[in-house]
Every structure is written in structure tokens, then in C-alpha cells.
Structure 1
Amino acid sequence: MGSSGHGGSNIGNHDLSFKILLIGDSGVGKSSLLLTFIPSSLEDLSPTIGVDFKIKLLKVGGRRLKLTIWDTAGQERFRTLTSSYYRNVQGIVLVYDVTRRESFTNLCDVWAKEMELYSTNRSCVKMLVGNKVDRDSERMVSTKEGMALAEETGCLFLECSARTRENVEKCFEELTMKIMEDPNLLEEGSTAIKRNILKQKQEKQANPTCCSG
């Protein structure tokens, strides 16, 4: 996971490509988790499309992976997450703040329902993440409750702290390993790369000044 590469020049050098979506209430620390996992990188993009996403290259189980992680911070209060964000997603991280019970109950009342409604990929791997465990004296949601909800909703479970970095890398690595255990998701991960190569070829042939998105 060294940073000897020069940004975009080696971005195509990977075996699998997965799309991960971060969802949950405003202020639970989705952006902080992402910035802890991927410190400001050369591939940073400004959130012109309503959501920000970052790219992480890592090695898991001997495979070179490209994770495109979509952060929906800022969308929650407008309830503007639409089906397009959930399209072709292999992993969803549902984040709550262990010091805010409401952020935990909203995962059931709001986010899980939305996920059911919009997620087109039934075999998509879900992970429930309780953030801010460094503020244990203010804890309102116990580990046991988090585990129970994860079991009920068929999610992996982990508690972490974006501030101390505890379990942040583990969260994304465990999620990715679980994705790689599913043959369908694995196939999607390699197909995504083939699609990108094709797309790049088409873009080179097209008018370079065109910005169709």
C-alpha cells in the first residue's frame, strides 16, 4: 500500500474494481472515515455531481483492487439519494454514531428501507459500522445492540473511530474480502475493468473536448 505511484498513471494497474457506498445520517462521520482510509489523494474530485467519491488502490488476498468509495454526506438532509447512487454497488457501509441513538434507529427506519428500495444488486455485501468509539463515555448504543441489528439485517459489523483510526482499514478490508467470496460480485469486479478499458478506447476516438457525463 505504498504511495510510490504517481496518481492517475498507475490507476489502471489492478485486477478488480468495486464500488462501495457510504450511507447514514448527517454528522455520523462518513466523510471522516473516508478521509482516514484515503488521506487526500491526487484523484480527489470536487463533489460536482452531488456526491463525492474517492479511489483507493489496495491489495487484499493477493489481488490488486481499485475501490471507488462514494460518500453521500450532505445529501441526507435533502433526502435526494436516488437509485442511481445504488446502481452497480458491490458493498454498502451503513454508518451510525455510537453517541447518537437517533443515528442508529434511523438506519432501520430510513436507510435500510431506502437500500431495499433502490439497491439493484441483491448479493451486495452490507456492513454496519458504529463510529466514534473513542468517545466511549458518551456512548448511547452498546456493541451488543449493534451486533443484534447487524444480524437482523444481514450485515457484517464493526465499531471504529475515524479520529484514532481504530478499525477503519479493517472495515473496508473485511468488506472487500466478503465481496470477493461471492462469485457474482467477483465477476462484476473484473467486468468493470473490461468496461473501463472499452470506455477509454471509445473516449479516445470521440471528440476530446466533449464532456458528456
Structure 2
Amino acid sequence: MDVVIPAPNKLKVTSHRQYHTPDPLSPNAVAPSPLDQFRAWFTEAQGAVLEPEAMSLSTVTASGVPSSRFVLFKELDERGFVFYTNYNSRKSKELLENPRAALAFYWREVHRQVRVVGRVEKVSKEQSEEYFRSRPLGSRLGAWASEQSSVVGEGEVKIWLQQVKERFHVQDETIDTVDVPLPEFWGGWRVVPDEIEFWSGQPSRLHDRVRYLRVEGSSENESQWKIDRLSP
């Protein structure tokens, strides 16, 4: 990346990276369902991308203030995209205020992006419980110790973590035999898509873009999709 500093208070990026994805992307070459298309792309990305599950999550408050952050995608089921978090966090509070969200995956190594827009819903407690118990012991303890997104004093989290260890009688985090239950304030969210766009990098910024839009009136359980090519 070439960076020019034209003045002390400015930065200007002048490089223009060229992209090229050899596999063609067109409405005639994708799966009828965007969820199936995502499964195919994600499977390919797993062999080439360092952390393909990293995704940007954008939320909006009831008054229209947006915020974005990266979270980890954990599951694609028959309804949508699932991730897990603290239900008292900023992201969760905003999702409760305004149950719509946008996701974005960027897979630099293969010159691909996926963009998702849809409504959100909490996953079942049973599903959250199953995932929580699959986490390493340290992560389960951390979920209890962190009041996510709240203001915290220096060293306070370490104190809370020690209190959690004492509560659940944990003496050695490398011995994962302790039953640390799912906190009531922690669980999964699902983004049920109404729109998914697949982006494939091409030279001269003439990228391939294919968008799926849920057909109005079609059921989320038996979705129908309108597939279009978008201009770069």
C-alpha cells in the first residue's frame, strides 16, 4: 500500500490493487439459494483464508445511530447466520431496540466478499447451551467475568475472573472438567436474511456482483429468491 502524507494532518492512499477471481460469478452460475451459495464459498475460503469466520456486524439504535464491529460467525442453519455474545452488550441492546442487522465477510486472499442484510432473532436457549458447552473452559469463565461494553477499571476484569473461578471451584484452567453453566445473559443471535450479495474481485474495478433478494411474501422457511447482477 502506498501512502502519501500531503500535510501533517492528512493521509492519502494512492495504490490501486488489482483483483482477479478466475471463477466467473453470474446469476446463471450460482445456486438457487443464497445460503447454499454461501456454504460453497465458505467451504472454499476455509482452505485459503486465515480467519474466514470473521465478519463485520452492523447494528442501529432506535434513533438511527449505527455502529459496527467484528464478531465470529459460528453457524449457518436453515434460517440464517448465527453468532454468540453477551445479551447485555451494546450490540445486543441495539438489536433489541432495532431488530435489523447487516453482516459483511471480506476474504482478501480469494478476492471475495459477502454482504447480508436481514432481521434478527435470538436462538433457542438449548442451541446456546449446546454451543456454550463446546467452548474452552477459559472462554466459558470469561463470559461470566465480563460485563461486556460496560466501563471498567484497570485490573477489574482480572478480579472478576478470579471471583468466577472461586465460584465454580476452578483451580487449573487446563483441566476442563468443571461444569460452568450458560449465563442467563449470554447466548446466540440469528440474522435471517432478506438480501445477500456476493462480490468477486475483477481487474479495473469491474467487479462481479450478484444479489439475492427474498421474494416479497415468500416464507422464511421456504424462501424464494430473485437473483440479479449488479453494476460494479
The TM tier, using the shorter chain, reads under 0.3
TM-score, normalised on structure 1? 0.24
- Which one has a bigger Cα radius of gyration? 2
Select the structure that is richer in strand: 2
TM-score, normalised on structure 2? 0.23
Select the structure that is richer in helix: 1
